[in-house]
Amino acid sequence: MSDADEPLQGHGEPSSDFDGSDGDDAPADTADTHRGGFGDFGGDGPGLIDRAFRERIVLVGVTRPDRDAAATDASLDELSLLVDTAGADAVERVCQRRSAPDPATFVGSGKAREIRAVAEEVDCDTVVFDDELSPAQQFNLEKLLGRTALDRTAVILDIFAQNASTPEGKAQVELAQLRYRLPRLRGAGRRLSQQAGGIGTRGPGETQLEVDRRRLERRIHKLEADLHRIAGHRRTQSKARTRTRNRAVAIVGYTNAGKSSLLNRLTSASVAVEDRLFATLDPTTRRLGLPGGETVFLTDTVGFVRKLPHQLVEAFKTTLDVVRDADLLVHVVDSADSDTDGSMAAVRQVLAEIEADEVPELVAYNKSDLGPAAARLAERTEGSVAVSAATGEGVDELLGAIGDRMRRVAREVELVVPWDRGDVLAGVHREGQVLDTTATEEGMRVRARLEPSSVGALSRYLVNGRESE
């Protein structure tokens, strides 16, 4: 095997589910690898939080011509929070200015040697890059650094893997992990260069590496099929909700902005709330009554983050369908964030990726109890509200704003419902907002706001067969 084909040191190993060997013939050339590697991304444990020690991490950021040093520092600050959430400690950071990434090592061989010197000085276990690395760059960096090299994507995937709890969430995270690992699968040692001829292989000419890659691909296809089936179930549920003529509202926002806290405040949903990134992965839907009498379905969704891995966006499209199909998005923004504009831009970028950028948006600046920033931002942004999910301040204004947005898509009509059709009158009250009622000889004259589908069903009762002026 040539140097270019050597296996990754401490990275890219297939998990036990996909490893074609019994593991007893591990090669001697992996004995000198540095400890660490973010669990399944190179270490022995399932994730950082389960490890016996907190790894020491060196962060690396690159400033390109389209951004300044302050933006790089802010991104590294967030990466440090991500690393801490994953269960490790960022002990040092290295920054570099480059006009373009180096194709071989991203930072260049000279900078890589400098990073290795820093890593040895602080005795770090892993080096984490703020930008996504190609498989070749990752492989070359690990050879030069003598320790595991990861990127921001790997850290986020590790956090998602730790937080996934439902079968759907676990399947989505596993699919994202496998899509990330597949092009990085270089084998776990010299044994993968040997020929295999056992049951389940394509023949005596197939290498163990090819067997492992094929098993990963089979698992990916199975997960895709499972998630496709779940998507079918969600579409069935969505149709059932549509028949109730209740509209859907989705809560979106940057991770740790307070989305789950707001859902709990509005609906008493009892969703687990933690002060950490990506505490919520699985959507939760609850009924919400609005001040005008309407009822909507309110759904909490997974938080977004800058540079959200494409693998996760693709894997979570089944879950994020609820966002694309919503009638209104409540965009929760952390008013205490030092870069609210950047956070909002990151959320809207993901919304564009899942084709939900055309859905109407209501901005809610959260954490108004922490200072005047929320009120100041709400004044600056037309149609937004300031709210505190912790104290309930501004909740009535938020509910009123949601109701106003919902009524904008409803149609105001006048109906005359015969006295013997109490069921129809009850349906008008249930499905819309009754604005005024007047008793007449023919029946109850009703002025109401109704969904277009409801108007069609009640067309025989419309005054003069048309909507009110």
**pLDDT higher than 70, residue 427:** yes
**pLDDT higher than 50, residue 189:** no
Please say whether the beta carbons of 153 and 159 come within 8 A.
Answer: no
Average pLDDT over residues 95-113: 94
Confidence of residue 204 (pLDDT cuts 50, 70, 90): low
Average pLDDT over residues 312-339: 85
Higher pLDDT, 194 or 288: 288
pLDDT at 325: 84
Please say whether the beta carbons of 118 and 94 come within 8 A.
Answer: yes
Which of the residue ranges 36-50, 200-214, 436-450 has the most confident prediction, judged by mean pLDDT? 436-450
Fold agreement between 245-407 and 410-467: no
Average pLDDT over residues 374-385: 93
pLDDT at 368: 94
Higher pLDDT, 138 or 284: 138
Could you report the per-residue pLDDT of 122-154, keeping only the tens digit for each?
Answer: 999 899 999 999 999 999 999 999 999 999 999
Average pLDDT over residues 254-279: 77
C-alpha angle with apex 270: 267 to 259, nearest 5 degrees?
A: 70
**What CATH number is given for 410-467 in this structure?**
3.30.70
**pLDDT higher than 60, residue 429:** yes
DSSP assignment of 428-458: HHHHSEEEEEEE-SSEEEEEEEE-HHHHHHT
Confidence of residue 114 (pLDDT cuts 50, 70, 90): very high
From residue 21, how far is each of 14, 31, 178, 223 by CA, in Å?
11, 18, 19, 23
Which of the residue ranges 217-221, 229-233, 268-272 has the most confident prediction, judged by mean pLDDT? 217-221
C-alpha angle with apex 323: 319 to 324, nearest 5 degrees?
A: 105
Lowest model confidence (mean pLDDT) among 173-177, 200-204, 266-270, 414-418: 200-204
According to DSSP, residue 102 is labeled B
Please say whether the beta carbons of 365 and 335 come within 8 A.
Answer: yes
Could you report the per-residue pLDDT of 23-51, keeping only the tens digit for each?
Answer: 343 334 434 445 455 554 443 444 433 45
Average pLDDT over residues 439-455: 83
**What mean pLDDT is reported for the chain?**
79
Domain covering 3-212 assigned CATH 3.90.1150.10 in the classification:
no
pLDDT at 377: 94
Q: How many CB atoms lie within 10 A of CB 186?
A: 18
Please say whether the beta carbons of 180 and 323 come within 8 A.
Answer: no
Average pLDDT over residues 73-81: 91
Confidence of residue 162 (pLDDT cuts 50, 70, 90): confident
**pLDDT higher than 60, residue 156:** yes
Confidence of residue 13 (pLDDT cuts 50, 70, 90): very low
Higher pLDDT, 67 or 46: 67
Could you report the per-residue pLDDT of 301-312, keeping only the tens digit for each?
Answer: 888 888 888 777
Confidence of residue 274 (pLDDT cuts 50, 70, 90): low
**pLDDT higher than 60, residue 193:** no
Domain segments of the chain as ranges:
3-212, 245-407, 410-467
Percent of the chain with pLDDT over 70: 76
Name the helix (H) or strand (E) containing 170.
helix 167-181
Q: Please tell me the distance from the alpha carbon of residue 257 to that of residue 237, in angstroms, as a whole number.
A: 28
Higher pLDDT, 449 or 102: 102
Please say whether the beta carbons of 203 and 197 come within 8 A.
Answer: yes
pLDDT at 42: 40
Average pLDDT over residues 67-95: 91
The pTM of the whole model exceeds 0.85: no
Strand-pair partners of 450? 411
173 exposure class (CB count in 10 Å sphere: 0-12, 13-18, 19+)? buried
pLDDT at 32: 45
342 exposure class (CB count in 10 Å sphere: 0-12, 13-18, 19+)? middle
**pLDDT higher than 60, residue 314:** yes
**What CATH number is given for 245-407 in this structure?**
3.40.50.300
**pLDDT higher than 70, residue 469:** no
pLDDT at 48: 38
pLDDT at 1: 40
Confidence of residue 229 (pLDDT cuts 50, 70, 90): confident
Higher pLDDT, 213 or 376: 376
Average pLDDT over residues 438-446: 91
Q: Tokens 């002060």, residue?
A: 275
219 exposure class (CB count in 10 Å sphere: 0-12, 13-18, 19+)? middle
